[in-house]
């Protein structure tokens, strides 16, 4: 990982589990931490209280977000907050095209890999249809973990398939 560690400029509570985050690189995100809180067990369960969640503040030098008392341990570091924000970002036309280019797949291979029809894949690429969250998750996961692509990608042969019963060229 060569990316610099993310730093947070400002953070505000936007709802019972939502944060508005301004990063030092001038990017801003709305992040829903409902899943993070729900899977955090007893340690994070106090954050289910909207009054406590609303006490959000920056941690040391923008490296984390904290809640509760100054010496408490209710916090998420900026790196993991950024990872969650990245996963929740829109996955639209530009992201679909960038994913396909990075994966090096044709339209048909992309559709096959994701279990979609070619027309559905083309609708995502054209921005005609919204990309469902599970498709976006699969695309992002396949780039993070190339084993997924290695295990499930089936290359197509170039050219048109032969007609059944057509004489073979000798």
Q: What percent of the chain has pLDDT over 70?
A: 95
Q: Does residue 44 surpass a pLDDT of 90?
A: yes
Q: Does residue 167 surpass a pLDDT of 90?
A: no
Question: Where are the domain boundaries for CATH 3.30.2020.10 in the chain?
Answer: 8-88
Handedness of CA 127, 130, 132, 137 (dihedral sign): positive
Higher pLDDT, 154 or 71: 154
**Residue 98: phi, psi to the nearest 5?**
-65, -40
Q: Which two tokens stand for residue 138?
A: 């699969």
Q: What is the average pLDDT score of the chain? A: 93
Distances (CA, A) of 35 to 84, 105, 144: 10, 32, 20
Q: What percent of the chain has pLDDT over 90?
A: 84
CATH (residue range 93-152): 1.10.260
Higher pLDDT, 122 or 159: 122
Is the domain covering 8-88 a CATH 3.10.450.30 domain? no
The residue-averaged pLDDT of 122-141 equals: 97
pLDDT of 156: 82
């Amino acid at each position: 990982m060569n990316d610099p560690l993310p730093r947070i400029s400002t953070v505000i509570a936007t709802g019972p589990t939502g944060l508005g985050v301004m990063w030092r690189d001038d990017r801003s995100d709305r992040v829903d931490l409902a899943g993070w809180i729900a899977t955090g067990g007893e340690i994070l369960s106090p954050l289910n209280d909207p009054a406590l969640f609303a006490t959000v503040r920056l941690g040391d030098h923008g490296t984390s977000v904290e809640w509760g008392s100054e010496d408490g341990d209710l916090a998420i570091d900026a790196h993991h907050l950024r990872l969650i924000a990245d996963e929740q970002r829109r996955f639209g036309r530009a992201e679909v095209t960038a994913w396909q280019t990075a994966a090096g797949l044709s339209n048909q291979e992309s559709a096959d890999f994701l279990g979609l029809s070619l027309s559905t894949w083309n609708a995502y690429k054209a921005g005609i249809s919204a990309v469902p969250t599970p498709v976006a998750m699969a695309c992002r996961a396949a780039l993070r973990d190339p084993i997924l692509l290695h295990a499930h990608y089936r290359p197509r042969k170039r050219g048109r398939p032969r007609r059944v019963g057509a004489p073979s060229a000798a």
